[in-house]
Amino acid sequence: MQRLQRHITGARLFWLFLFAATWALSQYSFQIYKALDARWIIRFPKKYQLSLDDVISGFLDWLVNIANFWLFTFRDLTRAIAWVIEIPYQFLRNLLIEGFQTGLGDAAVQIAPSLSWVAVIAIVISVGHTARDWGLAALVGACFLYLAVFGQWDSAMVTLASVLVAVPIAAVSGLLLGILAYRMLWVEKLLRPILDLMQTVPVFAYLVPVLILFGFGPVAALIATVIYAMPPMIRVTIVALKGVPGELLEAARMMGATPRQMTWKVLVPAATPMLMVGVNQVIMLTLNMVIIASMIGAGGLGFEVLASLRKLDIGGGIEAGLAIVLMAIALDRTSQAFSERRLWRQRTGNLMQRHPWSMIVILVILATFLMGLVIPAVQSYPDAWIISTGAFWSQAMEWINVTFFDTLEVIKTALLRGVLLPVKKFFVGIPWLWGILVTGLIAWQVAGWKLGVVAALMMGFIAASGLWDKAMVTLYLCGVSVFIALLIGTPLGIWAAQQPRAGRVILGLMDTLQTLPSFVYLIPVVMLFRVGDFSAMIAVVLYALAPAVRYAAHGIREVPLHLLEAGKMAGCRPLQLLWRVKLPLATPQLLLGLNQTIMLALSMLVITALVGTRDLGQEVYIALTKANAGQGIVAGLSVAFIAIIADRIVNALSDNQKRRLSL
């Protein structure tokens, strides 16, 4: 009895009551509406609905067509930015694929050809070796060789050009903004909601405005990519800088470091390992955007994937998708290696001895250029040597489809009936007024009354925009997917941390999943599970798994050694060590992982709309296909608000936990 009483605390009662009341209301909302004849209980009254989308569309029109700052218009400004970004991009494109020429059409005169494929591979091998060793050089070289052998070279070089422009812009501006936020509290406060918006407003929502402002073509795609890829870099920078040990800062201060020295000689170097997690994310997200970017004119591998899948050429889609993955792996490993490289050896001797790689590369470029004039195969990879695995994939897919469909159908039906449909019914049944109240109450209980009010207001906005039902479907789909992703991802992450060898495989797999365009596996998933919520859920789980695994692994690995020693001294067995020491101490990281999992699940929403769901993602997608900027932004904001509420609640939980552990 006493034990029972100890468990019934005020907080627990509160949660129990809240859940029971929500469940009851959700179950009987329809009956209540019928009994009271009050339709407003289940539907937000039409006449009070906000028409914010028209206002936003109108504002954008004004911004694009009328707004001016005396000397120039807003559009001149954005076009100027686009022009500046276009310069390095066009140069890289010429260098890698198009060659340099003057004049147009028939009058065109080629000044110099692009780098030959042999030369590009030589360059990446040399970069790989310089960054670390022959192992990395071989890996990077093999990745690029794949591009040539599987006929992806031309598209891949177009994508590489845009990645080489987008990643530095996103990483450097992310780092600078992060440092600024670390130095000045108000910047951090200002940035947080903006970051949430950048990360959670679906790209499709701002695609139309970006196109209008920055002009059609690759540059607009680049800018959308930077907007999408930068937030994790800022977030990670802030966390990393805050994690620099106080003693180190103290020591630097005692030695009289100026603020600038403090930043660049102490903080940033000390935080580099963590910062590289951010760079890794930027690269992954940039390559993630490749598909969407290709929809608005970036071309490249993304276009290859889209076009193949529209023909249901699954093999072609997979080959192009893998090309994106391999490029991501090559870029990521190289950047990691550079960050870990401590010593820049000074070489002596003649030019060749001092800069062996630069010299070799220059020689290769010259040699292939000259040979390319005579033997075309040296300049561009000959079509006859291209390998295609298309037939294999189509046959494999057909075999799986014909052999396993019935088994899969049974599993799917069980999951649908047992989990998805009941949860959906629960969420969709919640009357909007109670939903707003409950969100407020949860936020208040976890993070104080301020967040409670904000959360309630945000949910109110969604209801007032007439998107309540779609928002509830969103919650259900994301909720179930995030839950399943954590269920699979956390143990995988723990395993990866405990066993470094398995860890390397698992983390590699996660990188693959995150960079493999979801479209590539979406189509086979649809073939096996048909259009519907189930296919959408699988796609979201596959995509959102990565952060759950990665942060779990990171959290477990970062547990201070002395605490582990203390645990061992106290006689903990390995399993106890995990449960009693590692997991509690890793909770803040695990929660950060949860946070990122939710964010990614939400950002995947629009993609699931491509399969056919009835959630906010669909609303955004409809807005895009109708080029209705206002509608897209309102729906995008609704997604963002859900994300922000979730983020704040999870963060508050993480803070509470940290306080409890006095970290």
Partner 1 sequence: MKHLSVLTAACLAATPVLAQDSSDPIKLTLHDWSGQLITTTLMGEVLKEAGNNVEYVQADYIAQFAGLKTGDLHLAMEIWETTGREALDEAVGSGSVVNMGQTGMMAIEEWWYPAYMEERCPGLPDWKALNDCAQEFATVETAPLGRYLGGPVTWGGFDEERVEALEMDFEVVHAGTDAALFAELEAAYQRQDPIVLWVYAPHWAPAKYEGSFVAFPPYSAACYNDASVGMNPEAAYDCGKPTGPIWKAAWAGLPDQWPNAAKVVDNFKISNEDMGAMVADADLNGKSVEEVVAAWMAENEATWKSWIAQ
Q: Mark 413-432 with x for binding to partner 1 (rule: CB under 8 A) and - for no binding.
A: x--xx---------------
Judged by beta carbon, residue 114 or residue 294, the one nearer partner 1 is 294
Q: Per 3-state DSSP, what percentage of the chain is helix, strand, and coil (rounded to 5)?
A: 85, 0, 15
Range 81-110, binding partner 1 (CB under 8 A): 104-107
Shortest Cβ 181–partner 1 spacing (Å)? 33
Among 625, 658, 661, 663, binds partner 1 (CB under 8 A): 625
CA-CA distance, 206 to 191, in Å (whole number)? 19
Range 592-611, binding partner 1 (CB under 8 A): 608-611
Burial (CB < 10 A; 0-12, 13-18, 19+), residue 532, is middle
**At 400, which amino acid appears?**
I
Shortest Cβ 218–partner 1 spacing (Å)? 8
The reply to whether 540 sits near partner 1 by the rule CB under 8 A is: no
The reply to whether 518 sits near partner 1 by the rule CB under 8 A is: no
Shortest Cβ 447–partner 1 spacing (Å)? 36
CB 316 within 8 A of CB 308: yes
Judged by beta carbon, residue 490 or residue 613, the one nearer partner 1 is 613
Cα separation of the two ends of the chain: 35
Judged by beta carbon, residue 42 or residue 208, the one nearer partner 1 is 208
Stretch that binds partner 1, among 2-10, 203-211, 443-451, 561-569 (CB under 8 A): 203-211
Residue 20 CB partners (closer than 8 Å, separation 6+): none
Shortest Cβ 506–partner 1 spacing (Å)? 29
- Number of helices (H) and strands (E), helices first, in the chain? 33, 4
Range 207-226, binding partner 1 (CB under 8 A): 207-208, 211-212, 215-217
In terms of DSSP H, where are the helices of 37-133? 52-65, 74-93, 117-131
Cβ burial 229-252 (10 Å sphere, 16+ → b, else e): bbbbbbbbbbbbbeebeeeeeeeb
CB 281 within 8 A of CB 230: no
Judged by beta carbon, residue 209 or residue 231, the one nearer partner 1 is 209
| Closest residue by Cα to residue 564 from 573, 553, 577 | 577
Stretch that binds partner 1, among 185-193, 307-315, 501-509, 568-576 (CB under 8 A): 307-315
CB 648 within 8 A of CB 660: no
**At 260, which amino acid appears?**
R
Residue 69: strand, helix, or coil: strand
How many other CB atoms are found less than 10 A from the CB of residue 389?
Answer: 14
The reply to whether 78 sits near partner 1 by the rule CB under 8 A is: no
Stretch that binds partner 1, among 276-284, 398-406, 498-506, 651-659 (CB under 8 A): 398-406
How many other CB atoms are found less than 10 A from the CB of residue 476?
Answer: 22
Judged by beta carbon, residue 175 or residue 473, the one nearer partner 1 is 473
In sequence order, the β-bridge partners of residue 73 are 68
The reply to whether 539 sits near partner 1 by the rule CB under 8 A is: no
Distances (CA, A) of 90 to 101, 220, 227, 280, 650: 12, 13, 20, 25, 43
The reply to whether 398 sits near partner 1 by the rule CB under 8 A is: yes
How many other CB atoms are found less than 10 A from the CB of residue 22?
Answer: 20
The reply to whether 516 sits near partner 1 by the rule CB under 8 A is: no
Shortest Cβ 11–partner 1 spacing (Å)? 39
CA-CA distance, 542 to 521, in Å (whole number)? 9
In sequence order, the β-bridge partners of residue 69 are 72
The reply to whether 114 sits near partner 1 by the rule CB under 8 A is: no
Stretch that binds partner 1, among 234-242, 410-418, 427-435, 596-604 (CB under 8 A): 410-418
Burial (CB < 10 A; 0-12, 13-18, 19+), residue 31, is exposed
The reply to whether 612 sits near partner 1 by the rule CB under 8 A is: yes
The reply to whether 530 sits near partner 1 by the rule CB under 8 A is: yes
In sequence order, the β-bridge partners of residue 109 are 102
How many other CB atoms are found less than 10 A from the CB of residue 133?
Answer: 11
Shortest Cβ 64–partner 1 spacing (Å)? 9
The reply to whether 298 sits near partner 1 by the rule CB under 8 A is: yes
Judged by beta carbon, residue 80 or residue 370, the one nearer partner 1 is 80
Interface with partner 1: number of residues (CB under 8 A): 55
Judged by beta carbon, residue 308 or residue 589, the one nearer partner 1 is 308
The reply to whether 251 sits near partner 1 by the rule CB under 8 A is: no
Shortest Cβ 523–partner 1 spacing (Å)? 5
Q: Mark 462-501 with x for binding to partner 1 (rule: CB under 8 A) and - for no binding.
A: ----------------------------------------
Shortest Cβ 512–partner 1 spacing (Å)? 22
Give the tokens for residue 276.
């590289």
Judged by beta carbon, residue 18 or residue 527, the one nearer partner 1 is 527
Among 393, 432, 621, 641, binds partner 1 (CB under 8 A): 621
CA 421, 425, 428, 434 torsion-angle sign: negative
The reply to whether 307 sits near partner 1 by the rule CB under 8 A is: yes
Among 52, 95, 249, 306, binds partner 1 (CB under 8 A): 306
Judged by beta carbon, residue 297 or residue 356, the one nearer partner 1 is 297
Give the tokens for residue 471.
């928002």
Q: Which residue has tokens 């990745």?
A: 143
Judged by beta carbon, residue 125 or residue 296, the one nearer partner 1 is 296
CB 519 within 8 A of CB 610: yes
The reply to whether 627 sits near partner 1 by the rule CB under 8 A is: yes
Judged by beta carbon, residue 89 or residue 551, the one nearer partner 1 is 89
**Residue ranges in contact with partner 1 by CB under 8 A:** 104-107, 207-208, 211-212, 215-217, 294-299, 303, 306-307, 309-312, 398, 401-402, 405, 412-413, 416-417, 519, 522-524, 526-528, 530-532, 608-613, 618, 621-622, 624-627
